[in-house]
């Protein structure tokens, strides 16, 4: 059997070709285009983890897989299906690679047998309206410290535009427009999310304008670059949000950027926006997330 050498050198390319030509789901039907894009993004994340741990798609074992799932678990809210979706993806990948002769074992099979879909959807976490207002006020507090200004600008954009952590990490300074009749942030298409333009609320403008002036004075490829000049890490973003929430006295099981994205969406629902409109502003093709958030409006606050 002739094995495609790209699986050993640039596996993202044959993975994409497999997804678009031969891969099928549990119902034996080809995947939809949006699912393929999502699978490609998931594979890229998995492959980055393997590279960081000096493994390949041909050599990774149970320890590599366990460390990856531990990393995924640390970044996901309890009760979500993210870990299981990755397990299913890696299981399909291993079975395909065994058929090709690239691998001889499937370390994902045992892991997948231990996992199960949650019986109920997890309750989304968000800021109650009073905490939302406190955080809006917090990001408007003036500061002369560059890092504090950066951190408040990050929180303001997450809270005011509902962007994801992945989107804000790769945002370019040109994506932010505050000196216009309609201040907004442009979010390019990423993975399964469509591009969108989100109007910025008034509470975000002072700190984002100040940060924009800093970006003009010190140009960079990222709106919020790391100290080394590249993209900011997920852990840095999580810590920035956690510190801000702690400072306003908010505590919850999850204090990540996801909470601010949920708060943004729920605020729009409280203001009378439709499920469709809010889903579009979140970059989602499905209304599932927004429907879950709307279900919390008449329910007791959980946070």
The pair of three-digit structure tokens given for residue 39, joined into one six-digit string: 């699978």
Top-confidence residue, 118 or 185: 185
**Closest to 105 (Cα-Cα) out of 117, 90, 115:** 90
Q: Is residue 98 part of a domain?
A: yes
CATH number of the domain residue 61 falls in: 1.10.150.130
Q: Is residue 43 part of a domain?
A: yes
- For the chain, the domain total comes to 2
Q: Is residue 299 part of a domain?
A: no
Which position has the token pair 């549990």?
26
Q: Is residue 175 part of a domain?
A: yes
Q: What is the pLDDT of residues 96-113, one digit of tens each?
A: 999 888 999 998 887 777
* Average pLDDT over all residues of the chain: 87
Contact predicate 291/274, CB 8 Å: no
Geometric angle at alpha carbon 281, from 279 and 282, rounded to 5°: 65
Q: What is the pLDDT of residues 263-280, one digit of tens each?
A: 999 999 999 999 999 999
Q: What's the number of CA atoms in the CB half-sphere (13 Å) around residue 63?
A: 4
Lowest mean pLDDT segment, chosen from 56-70, 136-150, 222-236: 222-236
On the question of pLDDT at 73 being above 60, the answer is: yes
Contact predicate 289/265, CB 8 Å: yes
Which DSSP letter does residue 199 get? E
pLDDT at 122: 66
Residue positions counted in the chain = 303
| Domain that includes residue 285, residue range | 129-294
Which position has the token pair 């989107």?
167
Are residue 134 and residue 105 in the same domain, yes or no?
no
How far apart are alpha carbons 122 and 243 in whole angstroms? Answer: 24
Are residue 140 and residue 250 in the same domain, yes or no?
yes
H helix or E strand, kind and range, residue 197: strand 196-199
């Amino acid at each position: 059997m002739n094995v495609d050498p790209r699986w050993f050198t640039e596996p993202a390319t044959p993975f994409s070709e497999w997804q678009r030509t031969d891969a099928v789901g549990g119902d034996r039907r080809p995947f939809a285009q949006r699912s393929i894009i999502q699978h490609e993004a998931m594979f890229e994340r998995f492959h980055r983890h393997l590279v960081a741990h000096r493994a390949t798609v041909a050599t990774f074992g149970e320890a590599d897989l366990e460390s990856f799932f531990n990393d995924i678990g640390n970044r996901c809210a309890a009760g979500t299906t993210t870990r299981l979706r990755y397990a299913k993806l890696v299981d399909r990948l291993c079975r395909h690679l065994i058929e090709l002769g690239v691998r001889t074992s499937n370390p994902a099979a045992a892991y997948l047998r231990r996992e199960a879909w949650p019986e109920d959807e997890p309750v989304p976490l968000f800021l109650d309206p009073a905490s939302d207002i406190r955080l809006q006020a917090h990001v408007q507090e003036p500061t002369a410290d560059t890092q504090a200004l950066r951190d408040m600008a990050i929180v303001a954009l997450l809270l005011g535009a509902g962007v994801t952590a992945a989107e804000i990490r790769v945002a370019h300074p040109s994506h932010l427009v505050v000196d216009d009749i309609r201040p907004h942030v442009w979010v390019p298409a990423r993975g399964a999310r469509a591009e969108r333009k989100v109007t910025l609320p008034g509470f975000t403008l002072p700190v984002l304008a100040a940060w924009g002036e800093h970006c003009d004075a010190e140009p960079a490829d990222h709106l919020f670059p790391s100290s080394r000049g590249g993209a900011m890490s997920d852990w840095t973003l999580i810590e920035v949000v956690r510190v801000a929430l702690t400072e306003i006295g908010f505590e919850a099981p999850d204090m990540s950027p996801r909470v601010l994205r949920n708060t943004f969406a729920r605020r729009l629902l409280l203001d009378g926006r439709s499920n469709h409109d809010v889903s579009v502003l979140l970059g989602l093709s499905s209304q599932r997330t927004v429907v879950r958030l709307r279900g919390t409006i008449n329910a007791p606050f959980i946070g």
